[in-house]
Structure 1
Amino acid sequence: MPELPSIQIAALLHAGLLVSDLARAKTFYESVLGLTRYPNRPDLPYPGEWYELAGGQQLHLMQLANPDAASIRPEHGGRDRHIALAVKSMDALKSRLDSAGVKYTASKSGRVALFCRDPDANTLEFVELG
């Protein structure tokens, strides 16, 4: 097999999550997590919302059928597929999650991090950056 050129992936530009109820998901991502909508989402053939994250990255919510909706998820999100997001204050995040009644678990790695699930059981990891 010939040697292939290196791709050199430079960055993660966005993560996409499937949601079953866009209004419910928007309440979570906007009211609980405080994310800001990206104003220029193109006209796509399905409902969705895009959010701006620091560093030019985005989080895309897509209201589409989830082929894994009936699958059994592990109790601890760190043992499930997930995306990791950096936060400046873990205390502020915990306060917002507690106020909204969102359950979370601490990272089992010893890092200052926690895992929670959105209303569609998508796993989110939050890591405090010092």
Structure 2
Amino acid sequence: MISRLHHVSLLVADTDRALDFYCGLLGLSVDEQRPELGFPGAWLQVGEQQIHLLELPNPDPLEGRPEHGGRDRHTAFFVSDFEALKSRLDTAGIPFTLSRSGRRALFCRDPDQNGIELIACN
């Protein structure tokens, strides 16, 4: 049966812009083993799991998404230094909302409006 998650795929309009967010801001690394798939994109490592960035047309609306990402589909990550990452988002001008559950977590969006949850792991 299912034993663990391998990857999540996210649609992006511009791979380089997405890499600035996921690698430059969030600190993920690129898996260089991505084969040529006939469209731009990248594979990113998140521990043993991956995010696959797919530069393909997005059938979802980018406007009118819920302000609070917890009320939209999203990908959640544990972060080792929550306050430092929160500060990096502030410095980069990335808006976020704090979790409404009272947990040390926040929700933001990547440049393509994909919902991201960042959860303190300590």
Common fold by TM > 0.5:
yes
Per the alignment, residue 127 of structure 1 pairs with 119
TM-score (norm 1): 0.89
User: Equivalent pairs: percent with the same residue?
Assistant: 52
Match of 2:96 in 1: 104
1:4 aligned partner: none
* Structure 1 letter corresponding to 2:38: P
Which has the higher mean CA deviation after the structures are superposed, 70-79 or 60-69?
A: 70-79
The equivalent position to 1:90 in structure 2, one of 74, 82, 97, is: 82
Q: Tell me by how many angstroms 1:72 deviates.
A: 2.1
Among 54, 59, 71, the residue aligned to 1:62: 54
* 1:38-81 residue CA offsets vs partner (Å, 9 max, x unmatched): 11011111100111111x10011100000013552001000000
Q: In the aligned structure 2, how far is the partner of 1:126 from the partner of 1:62?
A: 21
Matches within 5 A, 1:1-130: 8-54=1-47, 56-70=48-62, 72-130=64-122
Please tell me whether Structure 1 or Structure 2 has the larger radius of gyration of its CA atoms: 1
Q: Distance between the aligned counterparts of 2:77 and 2:116, measured in 1?
A: 7
Counterparts in 2 of 1:101 and 1:70: CA distance versus 1, 3 Å: closer
Give the residue type in structure 1 aligned to 2:43.
W
Aligned-partner Cα distance in 1 for 2:63–2:2 = 31
- Structure 1 stretches of 4+ moved >4 Å: none
- Partner SS, residue 54 of structure 2: strand
Assess, with a 3 A threshold, how the Cα gap between structure 1 residues 10 and 22 changes in structure 2: closer, same or farther. same
CA distance in structure 2 between the partners assigned to 1:125 and 1:70 by the alignment: 18
Contact preservation (8 Å) 2:62, 2:112: no
Aligned residues: 122
